[in-house]
């Protein structure tokens, strides 16, 4: 045990006066041992505790460890605890499995390893100096120690260096309260600093209307550089200079125009890259977080809506490994300020002089109920919008059917779309399954603007396994290597018949994936195109029991659910001969096609295009204010959660249609959301099982032969402007700024081509 | 002008024999109450608050509320209660805020439990009130 010299100092009361009062005054003894006074000797003389039964350790965050090769598991010791990790794991990942969270700045689990922040240093036995755990592979029998004095001293030192040139911006920095630097300096940094020189400062870079840069705060972790080049696929950012003069920026005066550029805001551990629309608006501790689903495209990215009172302040991604990992597109992230503009808040009826007059719900529903009985059943048309949830579409279909009409459909599905077999409109290999593909054939779809998260997944696959991508459609820009095979159905015919040079690549691929865009559903020759795609699939063994590579990429959040519920357009002339049109959030309907004497009811949350033709306006709630079921393009059902209260006198969509049905005399049998859901269960039970993916049951073999021929018109781009696709984004100021930048870039590109 | 109308209190009348007599009694009651309106307005100082036509409308609405009843005995009982109420009002047994709250039709002052909302379900009533139910 060897105590050595036991030095004890006792404090005795100084004066007699105190001594007389000191009957209960105790003597305080300070005991010190040489082991406590030097770190090295403490490390040496640590007695090994006898083999106790140690409690089992759980990986941090409740993560699951996937052993791809169970025989190849290694055993390492983390702080005395033995853990089994797969072979390629780094020391940091082994510590995560053991439940020890090692501080880091530059390491991110989805990016490549940089190892330049040095905050993750841990002590490994038999190593002369502490190792960067994010980069060092875990070897069998390694003894890792994360809480020794050496590791602690290393962290304090790194923290001190990082804070030396870091400006004192916490009160004005948006990242305050959720800043990695703040948290780690409190947990691992030393309590006093020794820096008395001048701090360096860096000039700010202009990265666009979305990302605010204060480059003085940058700690040069290079997370944004690695993100831009690996995940987003654009090499916009880079590190210039060396040493303390290092600056992150775009070398030329270039804006970050990638559709995933907003994710660098989440990735940056300090306040160097922050959200420009959210700048100086709120602190993170005064916001209420609600976990919900995004509806701006058909992917259904998981988001967290931060709100303060009745206002949505910002949107942050949520982790979902299967759909969007940890990223969201710019449209999802920044469309929230459209929720505050152009909102419909009161029912309105158009007067005889053409102006709208606000009325009460009783009057508005009474008027609609009167008019609907004056038209013939065949002249009633109901159109669901692209942001409608499954409950409201079910109630609309029930109501229109009870009034005697069959004309109810969702916008985006043209006449004759066959929704009998689910495989013909879903992404059959699932978004996460796309990672296993080694060849992509994109037919008439530009995933970069239609579904940015699917594009991110394709980019990840191309980067990881060098997958080949062939594209048939109008010229578009991709952020990965892509062969432009052709522009129209002729190329498809060539591939189907085997004459195209791409066919050899198709035959040699083990898991080919064909992605067909939903924009092709609007063509008159769509049956012929789909049958030729299916013949390509059949010839190249794309649809097998273990791998189904025939995918359809839908455009709108409501499309999959509408096709599951059966909202299909049966007759092509339904809209032209309608006398009563019920638009439930449908803004992309061609308003000129509606006859001049038809009575139009618009039920929605924004005063967008179709409102100007309406006769009666019924205000509804937006996706952040209602609980609705949405199905994404791969068949995964999810539910939105209300984050803010409804605006004005608005009601939920399904409640309006249910009230209208009662006022019109065809009262629907349910009056609560559970009733609507049990009705949905009898039609499409997969829409009731939230957070589950229902794959399609049958393959293309059941489809009958198609006799039509393909026309030769080339495929048209579906999305003209990525930032303005639905009523919320069209009302948003941030989206308007982004699309102005986009158009300016396009114009300058065109000018560049013509000046040559 | 004739002499001002005075409400004569008769004892409890015998039951009406058939529906026709009950109808006659209802209309007599309506006439008596409308003729007492100037007195009521004078007693409770309702000159600036409400017009006589509105009070007549309120009375007729309450009568119309029960227009679907066919049993003469039930009609008699309702008339008895109506007469009791009218006597209380004319005798100044009530106060001004009672009259304004119960008979002046304003914004939500008188509950419209009349025929407009009678046939409607709970769902519709809740729907008209607010979105959260």
pLDDT tens readout for residues A182-206: 999 999 999 988 999 999 999 999 9
At A2, is the pLDDT very low, low, confident or very high (cuts 50, 70, 90)?
very low
pLDDT number for residue A64: 81
CB contact under 8 A, B128 and A362: yes
Q: Which chain B residues are Cβ-neighbours of A361 within 8 angstroms? A: 127-128
Mean of pLDDT values over A500-519: 89
Distance from the A659 Cα atom to the nearest Cα atom in chain B, whole angstroms: 6
Mean of pLDDT values over B2-21: 81
Residue with token string 């959030």: A585
CB contact under 8 A, A646 and B123: no
Kindly report the backbone phi and psi dihedral angles of residue A666, in degrees, each rounded to the nearest multiple of 5, phi listed first. -110, 65
At A753, is the pLDDT very low, low, confident or very high (cuts 50, 70, 90)?
very low
Q: Would the pLDDT of A563 be above 90?
A: yes
CB contact under 8 A, A361 and B127: yes
pLDDT digits (tens, 9 = 90+) for A574-584: 888 999 999 99
CB contact under 8 A, A362 and B121: no
CB contact under 8 A, A655 and B124: no
Return the higher-pLDDT residue of B87 and A500.
Answer: B87
Q: Which helix (H) or strand (E) holds A755?
A: helix A733-755
Distance from the B105 Cα atom to the nearest Cα atom in chain A, whole angstroms: 18
CB contact under 8 A, A621 and B123: no
Cβ–Cβ contact A621 with B under 8 A: yes
Question: CA nearest A745: which of A204, A328, A253, A229?
Answer: A253
Residues A755, A594: Cα–Cα separation, whole Å = 44
Kindly report the backbone phi and psi dihedral angles of residue A343, in degrees, each rounded to the nearest multiple of 5, phi listed first. -85, 140
Residues A170, A161: Cα–Cα separation, whole Å = 17
Interface A–B counts its CB contacts (< 8 A) at 26
Model ipTM?
A: 0.80
At A148, is the pLDDT very low, low, confident or very high (cuts 50, 70, 90)?
very high
Could you say which DSSP state residue A233 is in? -
pLDDT number for residue B106: 62
Q: Which chain A residues are Cβ-neighbours of B120 within 8 angstroms? A: 662
Distance from the A532 Cα atom to the nearest Cα atom in chain B, whole angstroms: 49
CB contact under 8 A, B128 and A650: no
Residues A299, A321: Cα–Cα separation, whole Å = 13
Distance from the B43 Cα atom to the nearest Cα atom in chain A, whole angstroms: 37
- Identity of the residue in A621, A646, A659 whose CB atom sits nearest the CB atom of B127: A659
**Chain B, nearest residue to A653 by Cα:** B131
At A380, is the pLDDT very low, low, confident or very high (cuts 50, 70, 90)?
very high
Residue ranges of alpha helices (H) inside B1-133 are 19-35, 37-44, 52-65, 72-90, 96-103, 115-118, 122-129
Name the least confident of A68-72, A503-507, A658-662: A68-72
Output the average pLDDT for chain A.
Answer: 88
Longest CA–CA span in chain B (Å) reads 57
Q: Whole-model pTM?
A: 0.80
**Which distant-in-sequence residues (6+ apart) come within 8 Å of A750 by Cβ?**
none
At A544, is the pLDDT very low, low, confident or very high (cuts 50, 70, 90)?
confident
Residues A261, A325: Cα–Cα separation, whole Å = 15
- Identity of the residue in A652, A663, A671 whose CB atom sits nearest the CB atom of B131: A652
Cβ–Cβ contact A655 with B under 8 A: yes
Distance from the A361 Cα atom to the nearest Cα atom in chain B, whole angstroms: 6
Cβ–Cβ contact B27 with A under 8 A: no
CB contact under 8 A, B131 and A651: yes
pLDDT number for residue A706: 72
At A18, is the pLDDT very low, low, confident or very high (cuts 50, 70, 90)?
very low
CB contact under 8 A, A646 and B131: yes
CB contact under 8 A, A671 and B131: no
Q: Which chain A residues are Cβ-neighbours of B121 within 8 angstroms? A: 662, 667, 671
Q: Which chain B residues are Cβ-neighbours of A666 within 8 angstroms? A: none
Q: Would the pLDDT of A37 be above 80?
A: no
The residues facing A601 across adjacent strands are A582, A616
The residues facing A639 across adjacent strands are A629
Q: Return the beta strands (E) in A557-657 as ranges.
A: 580-584, 599-604, 616-619, 629-631, 636-639
Q: Which chain A residues are Cβ-neighbours of B124 within 8 angstroms? A: 659, 662-663
**Chain B, nearest residue to A660 by Cα:** B124
Cβ–Cβ contact B123 with A under 8 A: yes
Residue ranges of alpha helices (H) inside A270-337 are 330-334
Cβ–Cβ contact A363 with B under 8 A: no
Q: Would the pLDDT of A30 be above 80?
A: no
Question: CA nearest A125: which of A101, A102, A108, A141?
Answer: A141
Pairing assessment for the beta strands A238-240 and A247-249 based on DSSP bridges:
antiparallel
**Which distant-in-sequence residues (6+ apart) come within 8 Å of A519 by Cβ?**
A444, A445, A555, A715, A716, A717, A718
Residues A751, A62: Cα–Cα separation, whole Å = 54
Cβ–Cβ contact A112 with B under 8 A: no
Could you say which DSSP state residue A547 is in? -
């Amino acid at each position: 045990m060897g105590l050595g010299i036991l030095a004890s100092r006792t404090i005795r009361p100084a004066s007699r006066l105190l001594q007389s009062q000191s009957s209960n005054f105790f003597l305080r003894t300070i005991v010190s041992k040489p082991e406590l006074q030097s770190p090295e000797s403490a490390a040496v003389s640590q007695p090994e505790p006898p083999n106790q039964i140690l409690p089992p350790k759980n990986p941090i965050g409740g993560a699951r460890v996937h052993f791809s090769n169970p025989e190849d598991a290694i055993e390492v010791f983390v702080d005395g605890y033995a853990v089994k990790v797969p072979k390629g794991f780094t020391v940091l990942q082994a510590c995560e499995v053991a439940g020890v969270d090692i501080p880091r700045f530059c390491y991110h689990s989805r990016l490549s390893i940089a190892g330049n922040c040095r905050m993750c240093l841990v002590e490994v036995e038999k190593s002369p100096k502490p190792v960067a755990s994010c980069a060092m592979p875990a070897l069998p029998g390694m003894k890792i120690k994360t809480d020794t004095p050496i590791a602690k001293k290393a962290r304090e030192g790194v923290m001190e260096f990082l804070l030396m040139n870091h400006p004192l911006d916490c009160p004005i920095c948006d990242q305050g309260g959720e800043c990695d630097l703040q948290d780690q300096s409190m947990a691992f940094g030393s309590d006093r600093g020794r820096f008395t020189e001048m701090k360096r400062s860096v000039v700010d870079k202009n990265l666009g209307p979305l990302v605010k840069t204060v480059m003085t705060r940058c700690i040069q972790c290079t997370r944004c550089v690695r993100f831009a080049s690996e995940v987003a696929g654009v090499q916009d950012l880079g590190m210039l200079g060396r040493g303390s003069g290092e600056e992150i920026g775009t070398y030329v005066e270039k804006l970050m125009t990638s559709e995933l550029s907003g994710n660098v805001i989440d990735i940056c551990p300090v306040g160097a890259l922050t959200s420009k629309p959210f700048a100086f608006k709120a602190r993170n501790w005064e916001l209420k977080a609600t976990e919900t689903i995004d509806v701006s495209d058909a992917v259904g990215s998981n988001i967290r809506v931060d709100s303060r009172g009745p206002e949505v302040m910002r949107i942050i991604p949520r982790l979902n490994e299967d759909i969007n990992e940890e990223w969201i597109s710019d449209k999802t992230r920044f469309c929230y300020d459209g929720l505050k503009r152009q909102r419909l808040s009161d029912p309105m009826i158009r007067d005889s002089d053409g102006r709208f007059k606000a009325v009460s719900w009783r009057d508005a529903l009474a008027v609609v109920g009167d008019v609907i009985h004056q038209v013939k059943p065949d002249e009633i048309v109901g159109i669901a919008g692209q942001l409608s949830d499954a409950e409201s579409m079910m109630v609309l279909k029930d109501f229109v059917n009870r009034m005697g009409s069959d004309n109810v459909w969702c916008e985006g599905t043209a006449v004759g779309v066959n929704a009998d077999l689910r495989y013909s409109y879903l992404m059959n290999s699932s978004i996460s399954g796309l990672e296993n593909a080694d060849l992509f054939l994109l037919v008439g779809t530009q995933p970069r603007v239609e579904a940015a998260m699917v594009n991110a997944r394709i980019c990840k696959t191309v980067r990881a396994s060098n997958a080949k991508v062939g594209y048939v459609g109008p010229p578009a820009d991709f952020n990965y290597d892509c062969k432009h095979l052709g522009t129209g159905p002729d190329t498809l015919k060539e591939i189907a018949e085997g004459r195209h040079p791409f066919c050899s690549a198709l035959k040699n691929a083990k898991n080919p994936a064909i992605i067909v865009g939903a924009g092709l559903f609007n063509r008159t020759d769509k049956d012929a195109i789909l049958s030729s795609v299916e013949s390509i699939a059949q010839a190249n063994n794309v649809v097998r029991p273990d791998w189904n590579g025939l995918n359809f990429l839908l455009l709108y959040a409501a499309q999959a659910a509408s096709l599951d519920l059966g909202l299909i357009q049966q007759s092509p002339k339904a809209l032209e001969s309608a006398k009563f049109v019920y638009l439930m959030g449908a803004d992309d309907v061609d308003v000129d096609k509606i006859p001049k004497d038809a009575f139009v009811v618009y039920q929605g949350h924004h005063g967008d295009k179709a409102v100007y033709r309406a006769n009666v306006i019924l205000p509804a709630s937006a996706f952040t204010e209602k609980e609705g079921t949405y199905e994404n393009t791969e068949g995964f059902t999810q539910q939105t959660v209300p984050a803010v209260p409804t605006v004005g006198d608005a009601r939920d969509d399904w409640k309006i249609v249910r009230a209208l049905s009662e006022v019109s005399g065809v009262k629907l049998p349910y009056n609560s959301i559970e009733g609507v859901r049990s009705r949905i269960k009898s039609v499409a039970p997969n829409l009731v099982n939230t957070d589950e993916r229902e794959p399609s049951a049958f393959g293309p073999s059941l489809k009958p032969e198609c006799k039509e021929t393909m026309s030769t018109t080339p495929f048209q781009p579906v999305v003209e402007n990525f930032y303005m696709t639905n009523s919320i984004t069209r009302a948003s100021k941030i989206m308007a700024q982004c699309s102005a930048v986009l158009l300016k870039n396009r114009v300058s590109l065109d000018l560049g081509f013509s000046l040559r | 002008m004739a002499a001002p109308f005075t409400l004569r209190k008769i004892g409890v009348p015998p039951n009406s024999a058939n529906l026709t007599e009950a109808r006659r009694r209802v209309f007599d009651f309506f006439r008596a109450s409308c003729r007492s309106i100037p007195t009521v307005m004078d007693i409770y100082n309702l000159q600036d608050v409400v017009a006589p036509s509105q009070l007549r409308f309120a009375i007729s609405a309450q009568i119309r509320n029960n227009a679907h009843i066919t049993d003469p005995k039930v009609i008699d009982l309702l008339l008895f209660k109506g007469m009791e109420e009218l006597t209380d009002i004319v005798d100044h047994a009530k106060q001004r805020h009672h009259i304004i709250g119960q008979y002046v039709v304003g914004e939500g002052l008188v509950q419209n439990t009349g025929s407009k909302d009678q046939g409607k379900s709970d769902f519709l009533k809740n729907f008209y009130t607010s979105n959260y139910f």
